[in-house]
Amino acid sequence: MNKHFFSGVFMLAVGLLLLLLLIPYGIDTPKKIRYAALSPTYYPQIVALILSVIGAAIIFRNRKPLKLKETDEPDAVHPNAQIRIGSFLALLAVYSLSLEFLGFVLSGALALATSLILSGERRAIIIIAMSLLLPISLFLFFFKVAYVPVPNGLLAPFIRWI
C-alpha cells in the first residue's frame, strides 16, 4: 500500500470520527432549532461527510500497490534521519512543557542551543552567542517595545528590575 492509500484511510477515519463521535458529543446543540440549516452541527456535518467521501474515493483509487514517488531525493536523506527527527520532536515537547516554568528566555536559550547542536553546528561561540542573544533580544522587543507580558519563569526575580 502507498502514501495515497494511507491518506485516504486517514481522511475516512477522521471523517467518520467526526460524524459518529466528535460532532454529536463535541457540539452543543440547542433543544429548539427553527431551521435545520441553522443548527450548529449542520455545516460541520456536511464538511465531515465530504471528508469521508473523499477519503473513500482516495482508498478506492489506490487500492492496488503503486510505485512510490518520494518527496526527498535519496542522497538528501540524512543517514540518522529518524533519530534526528525523533530527537527534535522530543525537544519540541520539552520546550513546549518548559515554557511556563523556565520562562521564554531560559527555555528559548536551551532549546536554541540544543537544536543548533542537533542540526550539526559545532562552533561553540556561535552556539553560545546565538542562544543568549536571540532570546534576550526577542524578550526585550516583545516586553519593552510591544508590551507583551512574556512569561519570565525562573528568571522573574532577576528580570523584574528591567
Partner 1 sequence: MLDALQEGFFLFANWQNLMLLGLGVTIGTFVGAVPGMTTPMAVALTLPFTFTLHPVSGILLLLGVYKGGLYGGSITAILIKAPGTPAASCTLLDGYPLARRGEARRALDIALYSSCIADFISNLALILCAGALATLALAFGSPEVFTLILFSLTIIASVSGDQLLKGLGSAAFGLILAVVGLDLVYGTNRFVFGQVELMSGLNFIPVLIGLFALPEIIAFFGRSESVRKHNPLAGVGATLSDLKKTLPTIIRGSVIGVILGAIPGIGGAPAAFLSYSEARRTSKNAANFGKGEIEGIAAAESGNNGTAGATLIPLLALGIPGDITTAIILGAFMIHGLRPGPLMFQDNISLIYALFIGIMMSSVFLFVVGKTFIRLISRIADIPHRILFPVVLVLCVFGAYAVNNTIFDVTIMFVMGLLGFAMLKLQIPAAPFLIAFILGPMLEDNFRQSLLMSRGSWTIFFSSPICWLFWSLTVLAVFLLVRRNVGSLN
Q: Which of residues 129-148 bind partner 1 (CB under 8 A)?
A: 130, 134-135, 138-139, 141-142, 146-148
Q: Which of residues 7-36 bind partner 1 (CB under 8 A)?
A: 7, 10-11, 14-15, 18, 22, 26-30, 33-36
Q: How far is CA 34 from CA 27, 31, 134, in A?
A: 17, 10, 56
Report, in Å, the least distance between residue 119 CB and partner 1: 4
To the nearest whole angstrom, how small is the minimum distance from the Cβ of residue 75 to partner 1?
8
Residue of 16, 19, 106, 115 interacting with partner 1 (CB under 8 A): 115
Closest CA to 109 of 88, 141, 130, 131: 131
Q: Which three cell numbers stand for residue 44?
A: 460541520
Which H or E run contains 53? Answer: helix 42-61
Kindly state whether residue 125 participates in binding partner 1, applying the rule CB under 8 A: no
In what helix (H) or strand (E) does residue 101 lie, and over which residues does it extend? Answer: helix 81-102
Q: What is the residue type of 65?
A: P
The only residue of 21, 126, 140, 156 in contact with partner 1, by rule CB under 8 A: 126
